[in-house]
Structure 1
């Protein structure tokens, strides 16, 4: 009877006063860190982290409640501002705070409170001019920019991609790439000159140039880029075959790479858009996923889950497996296009569900689509175990992932998938660790700064290989920076010669 009374009292306290009272959360013992506390780091959406801790200084590993922290951001002088703030509960004792500035300000105060007490070293003061995303105020000192963005000193994927191209002749590529590829593929020819962007398109389906335009415009608002000339493949499939050798080998920038090609791989248009449009037109981004990871592990279902369109035979094979083993795999096609004639066999289609509902399940199956499945970063960020198909396709970060550390691999023909799912069920504790490692990889390597860093590093390394001066060629047009009439800014940076890496 006494135990029942204590349980009732505990539940009453949780409901009435909030979980933070029972957990003994301490405002001063909490940790706060992140680039969003630095004036110099300009991102479409700035962010920082809060780690909740108890009175003994131990970090909490479960959520103390999503509304325990209050965050306010405003100019110190009390002037009016437009800053949108979101506090995202990551449900592991930590919080991601993101904020979008619609104007540029001088001297901001960031106040973080718990029960009206300042958290950690709050208030944090961002001194000087804090520029918003649309303010064209490029940093001339590249080394300093890379330092406060915490760019990696080197990217092995970039080094591998550039290895076949010790030198690059802009004159040659301007003539040869359109002749080789533009008949069947869509391309964009870019020149960056004096930190301005010029381009010409080739082919019929060139709408995806908007993603490349957007990231280049955003990057050149932040840092001065070396003069450079390059071609971007606007399709999914990488183009330059590995059997092509010098002197015919040509460098093409692509969203995706493969073991059979030697394109220069960039972050996909999907992750590029989610980086630029966070808290904007996209709902699926790597920040928001971290706050929508579904139930705690032991409340997730034991099903292996997949949804998608019919862009590869193995996807149909997975649906067949799901029908044979519905208590193990839940897989269905949401749209038939490539195998329309097989819809009667593998259909009917099911309605798409929210991506966040994927994480109601412990196991996520990642299958190739037309090329690499661009959903992998989001699956890894979601905290479920990712079972990844062996593939010849890869994104820019794949080679840094370690099988059995960040995900569980299975054969391309799905021949061992059932065995791998059973292994996962038999090793639940180990699987949780793998899921956590995959999540941590995304948190540490694919946040906004690293996407900008990767683009800048690739363009700078490529520019160093030029054997002649890049040109604004016939047919190219200037890609204009977007106008920001509502929130114009004044750039206070002093012009200086750009430091070279």
Structure 2
């Protein structure tokens, strides 16, 4: 049993797997300045009378040896839009506190130190690895995150819905700022990278740096043309009606549905040590299906990374990177209310247009590998927090019930060699970045957004037109 002390509450997690992989991946260190500062974990030898404390010698300034000359990926342009609702009013203490009923924890950054006041236990280790990720950001860019207070929601669905707030009512405007893993066109939640970028130990998912390398290797095992010419999906069909509805596409006495759908039994996987759930072993089909669960699904980035043409059932929710991906370039769009027919046609089309289908799969995978490197994830976090910090119209204070948290207080007490510590060790930022963050692109203007939406809708209509023509020709539409 692990106990993470976060504020007044003790977050307890039962270890589900004690084995760990001790093989460390190595990275080339050429061209790294000799003055590079190393900040490994400084673990105190603990006994019954001692507790792990935070070191006092963390770097406090960021002085990059290399100035960035690259522009951040396009999805960074959404940061301004996500924060725009508070641009005129700023965020006062009263505005912030109205988000409190929906938050799992309050996070305070003051003078480069991080403090947490936990209100509620999140599912599994979502809160733990979200906080861990922000700690790594502070290690990567010391002194660059301004003093701020934020409230974070760790559930699947957004909580700050537009219908509940009216610009003409002072008692409900502006809406309270709440950080969350996904957004919705009808919600104000501030989108932030999800916990799994630093690992999801409960289901044996590695941190993203390590997993993306494994996925690249997995892609090489089976050439696209030699992959199974069907659409593949494996997951929990019981978390939402839309997934349950997807499973009916698996069976037909009229024609081959061209899909292969499998229910994931996580209890069984835990018992057998996750032998059948390695994501890098699932890049064996030409087509992979993405479908939301209770809301957006963590599986999105893994499915899009497989070189397979992703058949993306049009989502209702979005994460921070998907909004700049383009249908028919990075994935094939599938209508939620016509899943079975759309999926079958997409596979038929792909098998008859293999070069085009392979190109869509490759472009989607390249987007993920190039635009979702961890340095970009950290840069995105940095710009969101910097933009959010500028909106603060309150004195940032550390609550009495908050506790200072650092990498040492989170990782050092875990000594059983389990997957939680493994994920932390693998994702630990060992030194400040040697270069500055990428250059933030200009935000979308109204005209830019209108043009983008028109482009996305045109691509979706093309797929719909081809699909409808296919079924009309068979008298089955």
Look up the SS of the partner of 2:351 in the other structure. Answer: helix
The residue aligned with 1:358 is 282
The residue aligned with 2:148 is 228
Of 244, 254, 264, 1:334 maps to 264
CA distances 1:137-194 after superposition (whole Å, capped 9, x unpaired): 446247x48945957288222111111111433411443222x43xxxx521111000
Alpha carbons of structure 1 residues 424 and 216: separation in structure 2 relative to 1, 3 Å:
same
The residue aligned with 1:160 is 81
Give the number of the structure whose alpha-carbon radius of gyration is greater: 1
CA distances 1:427-471 after superposition (whole Å, capped 9, x unpaired): 111111111111111121101101111111100000011112211
Alpha carbons of structure 1 residues 265 and 301: separation in structure 2 relative to 1, 3 Å:
same
Structure 1 residue 270 displacement after superposition? 1.6
- Any gaps of 5 or more consecutive residues in structure 1? 1-81, 87-97, 100-107, 111-123, 338-350, 494-501
1:291 aligns with 2:217: yes
Structure 1 residue 323 displacement after superposition? 1.8
Of 228, 236, 251, 1:309 maps to 236
Write the distance in 1 (CA, Å) between the matches of 2:405 and 2:432: 24
Of 79, 86, 91, 1:169 maps to 91
Contact 1:208 1:234 in 2 (8 A): yes
Contact 1:380 1:442 in 2 (8 A): yes
Bigger relative contact order (CA 8 A; separation at least 6): 2
Look up the SS of the partner of 2:158 in the other structure. Answer: coil
RMSD, matched Cα = 3.7
- Work out the number of aligned pairs and report it: 358
Write the distance in 2 (CA, Å) between the matches of 1:134 and 1:159: 35
Structure 1 residue 395 displacement after superposition? 0.7
- Any gaps of 5 or more consecutive residues in structure 2? 1-21, 43-56, 268-274, 416-424, 434-477
The residue aligned with 1:188 is 105
CA distances 1:338-392 after superposition (whole Å, capped 9, x unpaired): xxxxxxxxxxxxx954323321110001111111121121122211110001111
Write the distance in 1 (CA, Å) between the matches of 2:65 and 2:382: 11
Normalised TM-score (structure 2): 0.67
5 Å-filtered alignment, 1:109-148, equals 110=30, 126-131=33-38, 134=41, 137-138=58-59, 140-141=61-62, 144=64, 147-148=67-68
Contact 2:139 2:432 in 1 (8 A): no
Alpha carbons of structure 1 residues 153 and 421: separation in structure 2 relative to 1, 3 Å:
closer
Contact 2:132 2:407 in 1 (8 A): no
Structure 1 residue 297 displacement after superposition? 1.2
Contact 2:285 2:308 in 1 (8 A): yes
Alpha carbons of structure 1 residues 139 and 423: separation in structure 2 relative to 1, 3 Å:
farther
Write the distance in 2 (CA, Å) between the matches of 1:482 and 1:145: 27
Alpha carbons of structure 1 residues 373 and 259: separation in structure 2 relative to 1, 3 Å:
same
CA distances 1:74-101 after superposition (whole Å, capped 9, x unpaired): xxxxxxxx99445xxxxxxxxxxx46xx
Structure 1 residue 490 displacement after superposition? 12
Alpha carbons of structure 1 residues 408 and 282: separation in structure 2 relative to 1, 3 Å:
closer
Write the distance in 1 (CA, Å) between the matches of 2:188 and 2:97: 19
The residue aligned with 1:452 is 378
1:378 aligns with 2:296: no
Of 313, 333, 347, 1:389 maps to 313
Normalised TM-score (structure 1): 0.64
Write the distance in 2 (CA, Å) between the matches of 1:352 and 1:279: 12
Alpha carbons of structure 1 residues 210 and 147: separation in structure 2 relative to 1, 3 Å:
farther
Contact 1:238 1:258 in 2 (8 A): yes
Write the distance in 1 (CA, Å) between the matches of 2:373 and 2:432: 27
Look up the SS of the partner of 2:378 in the other structure. Answer: helix
Write the distance in 1 (CA, Å) between the matches of 2:96 and 2:400: 10
More helix by share: 2
Contact 1:260 1:392 in 2 (8 A): no
Alpha carbons of structure 1 residues 490 and 197: separation in structure 2 relative to 1, 3 Å:
closer
1:264 aligns with 2:190: yes
The residue aligned with 2:450 is none
